[in-house]
Amino acid sequence: MNRRNLAFLVPYNRRPLFALVDHKPTSKRLLAAAGIPVPETYAELGIQWDLRRLRELVAPHPDFVIKPARGSGGGGVQVIVHREGERFIKASGAALSLRDLTDHCSEILSGSFSLNQRCDEVVIESRVAVDPVLGRLSYQGVPDVRIMMFRGVPVQAMIRLPTRASDGRANLHMGGMGVGVDLATGRTVHGLLGRRPADLHPELGVSVVGVTVPQWEEVLAIATRCYGAVPLGYLGVDVVLDAGRGPLVLELNARPGLNIQLANRRGLRPMMEELRGRDVEKLSFDERIALGRVLAAGALDRGRGDDVPPP
């Protein structure tokens, strides 16, 4: 982590851009302005007084997601999958009352889940309808695809799968499962649960290896275009696959962790060191994707990098 911070995060992530990424509504607006699809925002609440309107704000929506604007790691996220009268049902089957939701939103506003533990805002947005292919690998929640980007080039990818322990959330440190994805083919290669290899989903018992991520080309293209909207050199892009809308960018991460290496059983550093010495700024998005795929496949190590732009 120290090497990540000193060699890659600090030199390539300009401080003013952190504020844009750390505030989810702002980053969503930047992405939408660049033509990058994102989940629809239903409402943003900034003060405790706004909670008096919570009932009318959620009334038109049978399902929705409540999250902190400045949260991280999935903390404070509540996913409501349907309603039964006055009860709001989570993916786990647990029921919440309007008072429960109001209390939770009040906690968000007080900063309980924010990065700096200061006051925050509540975001209410559309819930993703899970793509059936990845849905078969997910337990009561929405999986996402994390694309690790360096200098606008994709270098690694993994699927993050909800489990019983993660309560419908895909975050690994909350108990979610990580599955490495081959950049060239979009096929899953290795599974990770905690810090141990695992190729079977712990609840479903199905293999998570050898599955091709739907619309993989579009997933890579959307993740790479995010660099044009928010030019952070070291960036994690979380993409969800909606059954109706296709790939959507759920959020950006200016401090993506390193477990993606364990899910792929391969270190990031050699690829990122290679990219530090290359002139990539003038490459098109397609050229960036092609370069990332060659680096991820290890073609340069084997002397087969003829199709890659020279340094």
What is the separation of C-alpha 12 from the centre of its chain, rounded to a whole number of angstroms? 20
Residue at 160 is within a domain: yes
Contact 273, 12 (CB under 8 A): no
Residue at 234 is within a domain: yes
pLDDT at 173: 78
Mean of per-residue pLDDT scores for the chain: 90
pLDDT at 117: 67
Q: What is the CATH number of the domain that holds 164?
A: 3.30.470.20
pLDDT at 275 over 60: yes
Residue at 311 is within a domain: no
Name 106's bridge partners: none
Helix or strand run (H / E) with residue 147: strand 144-150
Across the range 219-230, mean pLDDT stands at: 96
What is the phi/psi pair of residue 180, to 5°?
-65, 145
- Which has more pLDDT, 45 or 19? 45
Residue at 30 is within a domain: no
Across the range 205-219, mean pLDDT stands at: 96
Across the range 247-256, mean pLDDT stands at: 94
The long-range contacts involving 92-98, CB below 8 angstroms and separated by at least 24 positions, are 92/140, 92/164, 92/167, 92/168, 93/140, 98/54, 98/55
The per-residue pLDDT for range 110-132, each reduced to its tens digit, is 998 887 767 899 999 999 999 99
Signed CA dihedral, 192, 194, 198, 202: sign only: negative
> If you search the block for the tokens 């906690």, which residue do you land on?
107
Residue at 29 is within a domain: no
pLDDT at 75: 84
Q: Do 136 and 279 belong together in one domain?
A: yes
Total tally of structural domains belonging to the chain: 2
- The share of the chain scoring above pLDDT 90, in percent, equals 75
Residue at 28 is within a domain: no
pLDDT at 311 over 70: no
- Cα 122 to Cα 233: distance, rounded to the nearest angstrom: 28
Q: Do 146 and 214 belong together in one domain?
A: yes
pLDDT at 301: 46
Residue at 307 is within a domain: no
Last residue of a domain, one of 125, 156, 181: 125
- Which has more pLDDT, 159 or 296? 159
Q: Do 115 and 240 belong together in one domain?
A: no
Q: Do 163 and 194 belong together in one domain?
A: yes
Q: What is the CATH number of the domain that holds 83?
A: 3.30.1490
The per-residue pLDDT for range 50-81, each reduced to its tens digit, is 999 999 999 999 999 999 999 877 788 999 99
- Edge to edge, the sheet with strand 78-84 lists 41-45, 122-125, 64-68, 78-84, 87-90, 95-96
Q: Do 168 and 111 belong together in one domain?
A: no
- Cα 213 to Cα 155: distance, rounded to the nearest angstrom: 17
- Cα 301 to Cα 86: distance, rounded to the nearest angstrom: 60
Q: Do 121 and 159 belong together in one domain?
A: no
pTM of this structure: 0.90
Last residue of a domain, one of 125, 153, 172: 125
pLDDT at 102 over 70: yes
Q: Do 61 and 176 belong together in one domain?
A: no
The per-residue pLDDT for range 174-200, each reduced to its tens digit, is 888 999 999 999 999 999 998 899 999
Q: Do 103 and 178 belong together in one domain?
A: no
Half-sphere exposure of 166 (CA within 13 A, CB side): 28
Q: Do 179 and 274 belong together in one domain?
A: yes
Nearest Cα to 140, choosing from 208, 180, 94, 101? 94
pLDDT at 305: 38
Q: Do 293 and 268 belong together in one domain?
A: yes
What is the phi/psi pair of residue 9, to 5°?
-75, -55
Last residue of a domain, one of 125, 153, 187: 125
- Cα 200 to Cα 48: distance, rounded to the nearest angstrom: 44
Q: Do 169 and 85 belong together in one domain?
A: no
Q: Do 78 and 157 belong together in one domain?
A: no
User: Which distant-in-sequence residues (6+ apart) come within 8 Å of 196 by Cβ?
Assistant: none
Residue at 31 is within a domain: no
Look up the domain containing 152 and give its range: 2-22+130-297
